[in-house]
Amino acid sequence: MKLNKPLVSVAWLKTNLEASNLVILNASIPKVSEKTAMASDESLIPYTRFFDIKNKFSDTSASFPNTFPSEAQFTREAQLLGIDCDSCIVIYDDKGIYSSARAWWLFKAFGHDNVAVLDGGLPEWNKLNCATENYQPFQGKSGDFVGVENKKLMKFFEDVKLETQNASHIIMDARSEERFNCLVDEPREGLRRGRIPNSVNLPFENVLDGHCLKKEDDLKRLFSKFANTNDHITFSCGSGITACVLALGAQLAGYKYLSVYDGSWTEWGSLTSS
C-alpha cells in the first residue's frame, strides 16, 4: 500500500487497519509547559507501536532537546519497531496533531516517503468511537528499514545563520505570537526571550482546526501571506517539534522547498546573545 498524501483520515485508517504493510506509530510526547501526563497505555489505536521521540529517536547525548539522530541510530530503532523499507507508516499522537508531525518529518528526513500523519490523532479516533486496545510493546521480528539522510530537509545552526542574511530564504517561527514578540517568558527554564533575525511568525495552532489540520484551500491562503510556493522555507519553533506541524501544513498547501531547523529557538537563543 502506497500513500499519496502526508495526511490520512480516521475513516481511511479504519478501512485499512488490516493492510499487510501498515505500521501504526504513537509518537506522543508531553508539551514543555504541560503539568499533566500523556495519555495512558490504555485505549490506543489497535496495533500501535510506540515511537519514542525523546529517548530512542533523538540524540540524547546532545546539548539540546529532540536533537536529530544519526542514520545508524534511526535505522536501528526503526528496525526494532519492525519497520521495513516498504512499510506504509501512519503516525498519531494524543493531542491531535503535535509531535506526530515531528516523527513524520524524521522519516522523510531519512528517506522514507510512504508515511503520513493521522488527521486529528487519537482525539479524533476516539471522537468517532473507533475500536481501541491496550498498548502492548512490539515483540515481532526486526524490520529491514535503512535510513539515508536527506540533507536538504534538516537545517542546523550555521545553515540558519546564513539564511538570516539571505532574502531568498524565509524563516518561519511556529511559536506563539507572545513568545515571538518577547512578551512572555519561554517555557524552558533559563532560555532567553527572542526570535531569529528576519524571521516571520505563524503560530502552529493557526494551521489547525480543533484537533485536525485546516482544509487545503485554507492552508494555501494562510501560507500565501508569507511565501510563494517556490520559496525556500525553513521552519523553527522551540525545539523542533511544532515546526514540523507547519512543514506538514505547507506540504499540503503545495510548497516544495521545505526544511526544519533542528535546534530551533532553544539552540539559537542559547548560542546567541541578541
pLDDT 10s digits, 192-247: 999 999 999 999 999 999 999 999 999 999 999 999 999 999 999 999 999 999 99
Clarify whether residues 250 and 182 are in a common domain.
Answer: yes
Whether residue 171 is contained in a domain is answered as yes
For the entire predicted model, the pTM comes to: 0.95
Catalytic residue among 85, 88, 182, 237: 237
Percentage of the chain lying above the pLDDT 70 cut? 97
Residues 165 and 110 in one domain: no
Q: Residue 133: inside a domain, yes or no?
A: no
Pairwise CA distance, residues 156 & 189, whole Å: 22
Instruction: Report d(CA 186, CA 191) in Å as an integer.
Output: 6
Q: Which residue range is the domain that position 43 belongs to?
A: 7-127
Q: Is 237 a catalytic residue?
A: yes
Cα separation, 249 vs 220, whole angstroms: 9
Q: Is residue 139 in some structural domain? A: no
Amino acid at 195: R
Q: What pLDDT digit, counting tens, does each position of 2-38 carry?
A: 999 999 999 999 999 999 999 999 999 987 655 444 4
